[in-house]
Amino acid sequence: MPTIRQHPNDPALRSFVDVRKESHFPIQNLPFGIFSTASNPARRAGVAIGDWILDIALLEQAGLLAIHPDPVFSKTTLNDFLALGRPRWVAARERISELLRHDNPALQDNQPLRAQALHPMAEATLHLPAAVSGFSDFLLSKEHATNCIDIVGGAKDGKLWPNWHHLPMGYNSRASSVVVSGTPVRRPSGQLKGKTDEAPHFGVCAQLDFELETALVIGKPNEQGTPIALADVEEHAFGIVLLNDWSARDIQQWEAQPLGVFNSKNFATSISPWIVTLDALEPFRVAGPEQDPAPLPYLRQSGKCNIDAQVEAAIWPQGAARPSTVCRSELKTIYWSFAQQLVHQTSAGCNVQPGDLLGSGTVSSSAPGSLACLFEVTRDGSQRFELEQGGSRMYLEDGDQVTLTGWCQGDGYRVGFGHCEGRIIPAW
């Protein structure tokens, strides 16, 4: 065992696994996911370290990672592990960090076990990290909300809805069509009605869009009827993933009144395969924007409540030599925090389950080039976006691959979220 105990977030930590400086997965990260391999098709839990996956189900079986009397890492999802709560999450990450340290011989010098436990990530298949029973999507970015209200012809003076500054707006979406990164996204069809059409018709979506988002992943559940207080959020909130909440804008504009979006959003939502723990993100916490007026007491918070992460979105047309970056934004600019969205969702007594997702909504900011969906970039198709490799887009075309990524920059290392990708395939 290491002779000196070090915190898993210590920038000085080094792993015996070689990790590139620009990698999203240094020893200071250690995100959790579910994977399988050609040699072992069973789905099981793993942790990303550099370009490798550490098979923590195998380490659990070998007696090197015993955090619970019952095995939790050999399951096909992380739900059982998520339900254990924060003390077990912390214990697991600390133990995995110890086993991967350059000065710990327990795994490093056990060549047979080491050979079985480390798998090249490029040769593995990544799966949904958790079974998602609930998915809510919020509108945490003030810039995105302001831009949208302006584009659709709302208030021109920057004013938002009267309730916007008093609560984190959200709606209960569906979980059945949440898919892992790399899953193709089929262009949807639905009811359409153009501005000059006398009546709607059923047809193929022509205004397919992406949304650059993140999502909070729930760990420990709460009981129905028992709200989660701000002081208790970290007992229930496990980590963060990237999320692309694909949107059919032309279907949306016809169906949205009066109850809101439905088929325009329910055909697919993509998430990244690695859940980055809130513990790994702790060094990157910063204060969020000033909230004026002050929220009601149950939502009132102070201190470092946001995360300083850069997030990006790119379009890679089929056959193109390289992708084109569409936006670069900052997660720290969101007006409402992840903690506030969880508190508000449960404030009426709603219960959340392990693996549930609370989406941030589109993460646009005020900096140039930070508009995080094509609806904003093209002002709902009124101006074209020029791709870096030639050509342009109003909305997504068949064959386009959208890639989301994001990371927090540390001192000589990155704690990243990996990638969330999806390629558009034609409608049925």
Q: How far apart are CA 427 and CA 164, in angstroms?
A: 36
3-state SS class at 119 = strand
Cβ count near 188 (within 10 Å): 20
| Cα(116)–Cα(353) distance, integer angstroms | 33
Q: Which residues are catalytic?
A: 144
Q: Which of 403, 137, 419, 350 is nearest to 252 (CA)?
A: 137
Give the CB-side neighbour count of residue 149, counting CA atoms within 13 A. 17
With residue 86 as reference, give the H or E element that holds it. helix 86-100
Task: List Cβ neighbours of 13 (8 Å cut-off, separation of 6 or more).
Answer: 6, 27, 28, 97, 101
84 touches 70 (CB < 8 A): no
Name every residue whose Cβ is closer than 8 Å to that of residue 365 and which is 6 or more positions away in sequence.
141, 143, 329, 330, 333
Residue 364 in tokens: 């646009």
Are 130 and 272 in contact, with CB atoms under 8 Å apart? no
d(CA 173, CA 168): 15
C-alpha–C-alpha distance, residues 338 and 319, integer Å: 38
Q: Decide if 271 contacts 180 (C-beta within 8 A).
A: yes
Residue 399 — left, alpha, or beta (φ > 0 → left; ψ -120 to 50 → alpha)? left
**Dist CA 105 CA 136 (whole Å):** 44
What separation in angstroms does the CA of 194 have from each of 7, 264, 428?
58, 15, 22
> Which string of b and e fits 204-226 if b means at least 16 CB within 10 Å?
bbbbbbbbbbbbbbbbbbbeeee
